Chains A and B, each alone.
Chain A
Amino acid sequence: MKTYFFLGKGGVGKTTIAASFGVGTSLDNGNVLVVSLDPAHNLGDAFNSTLSNKIKKISDNLSAVEVDIEKMIKEYLNELAYKMKNTYRYLTTFNLDRYFDILRHSPGIEEYAVLEAIKRFIKLKEFDTIVFDTPPTGITIRVFAMPKLSLLWTDRLIKMRKRILDRRKMVENVKGRFEAKIEGETVVLTSDEKEDDVMQELVRYRAEMEELRNFFSSDNTTVNVVTMPEELALFETKRISESLSEFKIKLRTIFLNKVIQCKKPPEGIKGKIKEQEEVLKKMREEFRGIQIKEIPLLEHSPRGIEELKELYNNYLI
């Protein structure tokens, strides 16, 4: 399976380019799914179709979905609360609801949900290609960073957990089964790694993160940036490229959107065209080895399968 990510700041035409790329790829590369992970969805608008949280078939080889990140977070926390009510039966003083209110708004939860969504889609076997229209750059970069960061944390925590279990074993050898009193109830604690739930969860989580890290940096995953020929956009693209290389993710193509192509430009936009030329020149120097594709500022934004196909054939291929 091939996976394509389209990154960029809001308003550069990320969704249109991702949708058009999906349409084009579906013509000759098997079954394609376009996923919008952006909380401000407009993938449906690009396809001229109403999309939802459920995968919808748009044409023969093309399906699309708009992921509801908020709903995912809510469902996940509800599931977790249910699980905790069963396991935390001794901790009556532990005010679950209060903690879940904190968790719902805790930093990083959105990135975690986006990562979970990506994980879910790349497991689907029925698609040959998945195209992701991503949330604003900041969040996406943190999503890409998560596997590496999580691996650092889990490795340290696994080491520490081993120390805890070793100490428990020592006490167990002398005093027999390790029992602890929690709120007056006696709980038997294990010193065996295979029986320790925390250790097992750490090991499972580590394996998942390792898989994702390898997935993000594999040859089957292509990360592209959509941007505009403006100085600020150039700086942002540079930052994206640097962050990506930190996580060993390669930037493949820069789609330079909304390039003004005008033979006789009116006086008012001459300055803009000059800026554009300078940015283009700098970009070619800065990003040697990375494909740069120019897409002109079109008369109107492409909508619907036919127009997106035309955009793909004219500029993206």
Chain B
Amino acid sequence: MKKLSDLLRKFFGGIDEGLKEASVSLIEKELEETENVFALLTMGFLSGIPSPPTGLVLRLLPYMQREIYVMMLRSKNLDDVFAETAGTFDID
């Protein structure tokens, strides 16, 4: 009996997790995209994009590790943009 209830809990827990994931996955993608653009705008001189005043860039630099990480990751995955987009919108 206990085994069954555990199984059910796990089953519904899984569904709950799945629903949560589905409900925010697009927002998460948008979030990551905005973070990437933010990093490109401010730290873009690293990839040849015009920069805001250097003073401002330097002031933000110590706090941008997450965004720079996202930017680096995005640049690394640039060759697979199509697959990523297809994945985001559930296109097989």
Contact = CB atoms under 8 A, between A and B. Distances in A.
B15 interface: no
13 contacts: A87-B63, A94-B68, A108-B54, A111-B53, A112-B58, A115-B55, A146-B55, A161-B38, A164-B31, A183-B69, A198-B63, A198-B64, A198-B67
A149 interface: yes
Contacts of A197: 62-63
A160 B34 contact: yes
Contact of B60 (A91, A99, A187, A201): A201
A72 to B, nearest CB: 12
Contacts of A167: 27-28, 30-31, 34
A275 B83 CA distance: 71
Given A94-B68, A180-B66, 10 more contacts: A87-B63, A102-B45, A106-B51, A109-B58, A111-B55, A112-B55, A154-B56, A167-B30, A167-B31, A187-B66
B69 A182 contact: yes
A235 interface: no
Contacts of B65: 87-88, 90-91, 94, 182
Nearest to B33: A167
A116 B64 CA distance: 22
Contact of A198 (B41, B46, B51, B60): B60
Interface in B16-71: 20, 23-24, 27-28, 30-31, 34-35, 37-38, 41-42, 45-46, 51-56, 58-69
A274 B61 CA distance: 56
A16 B63 CA distance: 44
Nearest to B42: A157
A202 B62 CA distance: 12
A107 B54 contact: yes
Interface residues of B, number: 34
B28 to A, nearest CB: 6
A170 B51 CA distance: 30
A234 to B, nearest CB: 31
A189 B51 CA distance: 25
Interface of A: 76, 80, 83-84, 87-88, 90-91, 93-94, 99, 102-103, 106-109, 111-112, 115-116, 146, 149-150, 153-154, 157, 160-161, 163-164, 167-168, 170-171, 174-175, 180, 182-183, 187, 189, 197-198, 201-202, 204-205
Contacts of A175: 20, 24
A182 B24 CA distance: 20
Given A87-B65, A168-B31, A187-B66, A109 B54 contact: yes
Contacts of A88: 62, 65
Nearest to A142: B53
A170 to B, nearest CB: 5
User: Of B23, B56, B66, which is in contact with the most chain A CB atoms at under 10 Å from its CB?
Assistant: B56
A174 B20 CA distance: 6
Contacts of B59: 201, 204-205
B77 to A, nearest CB: 15
A164 B34 contact: yes
Contacts of A153: 52-53, 56
A174 B22 CA distance: 11
Nearest to B73: A182
A157 B52 contact: yes
Contacts of B63: 87, 197-198, 201
A167 B32 CA distance: 9
Contact of A106 (B24, B30, B45): B45
Contacts of B37: 160
User: Of B46, B55, B63, which is in contact with the most chain A CB atoms at under 10 Å from its CB?
Assistant: B55
Given A99-B46, A198-B60, A171 B31 contact: yes
Contacts of A91: 65, 68-69
